[in-house]
Amino acid sequence: MQKILPQLIGFYLNLLAYIAPQKAGKLGFRVFCYPARVKMTARQRQFLQSARHFTIPYNKEAIQGYKWGNGPVNILLLHGWQSHTYRWKRYIEAIDKSHYTLYALDAPGHGLSSGSFMTVPLYSAIIVKAIEHIGKSTYRDRSLPGQFYSHIHLPYTTPVIA
């Protein structure tokens, strides 16, 4: 069912785009900009307690940040859609924290961050603010954040209004 549902939604949106393009655009925007928050288990919360927590305020939202280690090289970990920082557990445990400082963010509407809305421009702005907070960083992402990185470094984009 998990594999069929996205295909059905895609089929429906594509069909609707032929019949009512504006309606399809608005519905697509709602589907793809309001992530379903994945519930955290007690075990996941316990792991996240091993980090030093910090908050990045952005507009009216509070973006939850995490820090592990004190090494000279910063690495920023950015999770994908409908996920949270716990997805990096294996990396965080494996990396030598005397050589690296690991930072991670819960995206808006994800994990322990506030909000329910997320777009590429919004998360891109938050990533910029995070980099201002933590300094020069190497980043590692899971699928979606690559778009945010591109958005930050490709400022000549044309906005799409749905």
Q: Please report, for the domain that includes residue 116, its CATH number.
A: 3.40.50.1820
* pLDDT recorded at residue 144: 61
In a domain, 55, yes or no: yes
pTM: 0.80
In a domain, 108, yes or no: yes
Alpha-carbon torsion 79, 82, 85, 89, what sign?
A: negative
The residues, any chain, with a CB within 8 Å of residue 63's CB and separated by 6 or more, are 55, 56, 57, 105, 106, 107, 108, 113, 114, 126, 129, 130
The residues, any chain, with a CB within 8 Å of residue 62's CB and separated by 6 or more, are 55, 56, 113, 114
Residue 156 has pLDDT above 50, yes or no: no
16 and 56 within one domain? no
What's the mean pLDDT when you consider all of the chain?
A: 85
CB 107 within 8 A of CB 125: no
pLDDT digits (tens, 9 = 90+) for 92-145: 999 999 999 999 999 999 999 999 998 888 888 898 898 889 887 776 666 665
136 and 82 within one domain? yes
* pLDDT recorded at residue 59: 92
119 and 51 within one domain? yes
103 and 25 within one domain? no
- Domain encompassing residue 24: 4-33
14 and 92 within one domain? no
pLDDT digits (tens, 9 = 90+) for 48-86: 999 999 999 999 999 999 999 999 988 889 888 889 999
pLDDT digits (tens, 9 = 90+) for 132-147: 898 877 766 666 655 6
For the chain, how many structural domains are there in total?
A: 2
14 and 83 within one domain? no
Which of the pair, 6 or 30, is modelled with greater confidence?
30
Percentage of the residues of the chain whose pLDDT score is greater than 90:
51
Confidence at 7, pLDDT banded by 50, 70, 90: confident
Residue 24 has pLDDT above 50, yes or no: yes
Residue 88 has pLDDT above 50, yes or no: yes
128 and 68 within one domain? yes
